Amino acid sequence: MDARLDFHGSTVGAKFLRHLNSAGRVVTESPLPATVQELVKIRASQINGCAACTDMHTKDAAHAGETPTRLNLVAVWREATVFTEAERAALALTEQGTRIADAAGGVTDEAWTEAALHFDDEQLAALVALIAVINAYNRVNAVIRTPGGDHRPGQWG
């Protein structure tokens, strides 16, 4: 299976990805815990049906020490007992921030309030930015149908 377009080979695509990568680096270097960052990227990618990002972030998380049990339960985190309250709040915000069109009210005050109990303003800013960035990556890959399965941890730096 091949992607519909070599986005990296396109002048516009490559330039766009450089800027998106820069935005992602701001989040990576933020005080938002790395574990939370990976869980958010995985969950948004699952929701958006992005095989490339789901592949990448589950493998990167495993390489960084995340357990198979937790990785296997991200999609059903509400019914799982292996996530902290902070991680659950981040996952709830991620789902609502990813599925904005599915609910007339967008992100609920309840989801925001719960996240704010666990994260300070800098971490919340990073969390919002991360939700935006991973959704952008997901949309690029879903539109051009970038296949998943071949990612090697560390291949993108």
CA–CA separation, 70 and 23 (whole Å) = 27
* Residue pair 119/25 in contact by the 8 Å Cβ criterion: no
pLDDT at 154: 76
Closest by Cα among 141, 152, 129 to 7: 141
pLDDT at 115: 98
Q: What letter does residue 47 receive in the DSSP assignment?
A: H
Q: Which two tokens stand for residue 43?
A: 């969950």
Q: Which two tokens stand for residue 28?
A: 């990576």
pLDDT at 101: 83
* Residue pair 74/42 in contact by the 8 Å Cβ criterion: yes
Ordered domains of the chain (ranges, CATH): 7-144 (1.20.1290.10)
pLDDT at 6: 87
Query: pLDDT 10s per residue in the chain (157 long)?
Result: 788 888 889 999 999 999 999 999 999 999 999 999 999 999 999 999 999 999 999 999 999 999 999 999 999 999 999 999 999 999 999 999 999 888 767 899 999 999 999 999 999 999 999 999 999 999 999 999 998 878 888 776 6
Is the full-model pTM beyond 0.85?
yes
CA–CA separation, 9 and 49 (whole Å) = 23
CA–CA separation, 150 and 8 (whole Å) = 16
pLDDT at 14: 93
Q: What is the phi/psi pair of residue 73, to 5°?
A: -105, 0
SS3 99: coil
